[in-house]
Amino acid sequence: MFPFDVFAASFFIVTRYEEYLHQKKTEEDFEAKKSYQFKWKILERPIIDEWAMLIKNMIRKKHPEFKFYEKRFINQPSINFNITPNIPDGFLGRTKFLFSSVFNKENNFLSSKFDQLTGIGVSSEAVLSDLNLVLEKKQTDPIFFINFPNVPDDYIKANGISKNLSSKNVGLLRPCASDKEKIDEIKTGLAKLKKILPDQINVSSQQLEILKFPICYLNLLNSGITTDYSMGYPNRAGFRAGTCTPFNWYDLQLEKVTPLLVYSYCLNDITLQHLSNGTIFNSIKEYVDAVKFVNGYFLSNWQLRSLSDHLKYKKLKLAFIEMNNYAGN
């Protein structure tokens, strides 16, 4: 038997109860090192799934005829990128666009041009085309997330991207704003996604910045988003919600289960980029093994440019390939 209330502990972790309490005390961002999982040294484990497996074995021992739902291991990387707007024709249109680029960071134009000037810019269309060949050989089915610039639709030319992603699962990147007034921006992003990929049925999202409860998830629900891949720490590996099994988000304020299905990621390319090749693979192997042990979802996040042939990202692309070779499906 457990020396503590395992159901209460699971509820505390998966609902992110401590993050609600944190936000009542301070406006500081909640970091992984502030979590009880970090203090209890269980952040690197899908601890709730492990507890569930122990309970399952205890029940089977007493009731061998009892039938359980059998899960299976799934490896699904998520890949995100920004779409760069095109400069419009005409002097007035160009002037207005460039002025907007200076004062609106969500335009994405100046940042993309800076990447090109510094030699780290990549062609999203080219990388997607090469990546599709790699993924087909590995039989890996990732989900892609697109961040659209805050510009009129006429400035967005994404024919090459639409072609490469026509048969893929695609969602909206960075929609989970912590301001209620941002709901219109989320809906605008979804409209742009539907315009370049009209056959997309499932409405999913991901943000790799600060995730605040409950406002971020409430905004997603109010925008019509039904699936989210934001549950994780952007700058640290680990299981933020203590699980590698998708779950419906529980709203602690309303005390009810919501329709929003939450997928938790445990690895981010940002946390790997400064490690040695050997350390990267060992870290990936440990997380894959932990998820395989409980037949969960192994979810990892990658920037599209990290998977390009650019010399700067060679180590990360190799890590991505080795991860899929080891994880399989």
pLDDT, one tens digit per residue, over 280-308 is 999 999 999 999 999 999 999 999 999 99
pLDDT for 114:
41
| pLDDT over 70 (residue 96) | no
- Name, in order, each residue with C-beta under 8 angstroms of 7's C-beta and a sequence gap of 6 or more: none
| Class level of CATH domain 74-327 | alpha beta
Q: How far apart are CA 297 and CA 263, in angstroms?
A: 8
β-pairing verdict for 256-264 and 247-251: antiparallel
Please name the residue that has the structure tokens 């090459």: 160
pLDDT above 80 (res 169): yes
Query: What's the length of the chain?
Result: 329
> Over the stretch 42-78, which tens digit does the pLDDT of each residue have?
999 999 999 999 999 999 999 999 988 889 999 999 9
Question: Which residues lie closer than 8 Å to 276 by C-beta, 6 or more apart?
Answer: none
Tell me the Cα Rg of the chain: 21
pLDDT band at 160 (very low <50, low <70, confident <90, very high): confident
| Helix and strand totals (H; E) in the chain | 13, 9
pLDDT averaged over the chain?
86
In contact, 160 and 195? CB cutoff 8 Å:
no
Provide the token pair at 295. 């037949």
Task: Kindly report, residue by residue over 234-273, the tens digit of the pLDDT.
Answer: 899 999 999 999 999 999 999 999 999 999 999 999 999 9
What's the whole-model pTM score?
A: 0.88
| Mean pLDDT on 210-238 | 91
Share of the chain above pLDDT 70, in %: 84
For 3, half-sphere exposure in the C-beta direction (CA atoms, 13 angstrom radius) is 0
C-beta pairs of 257-262 under 8 Å, 24+ apart in sequence: 258/217, 258/221, 259/221, 259/226, 260/217, 260/220, 260/221, 260/225, 260/226, 260/227, 260/228, 261/226, 261/227, 261/228, 262/228, 262/230, 262/231
How are beta strands 227-231 and 247-251 bridged, if at all?
A: unpaired
Q: Where are the domains of the chain?
A: 74-327
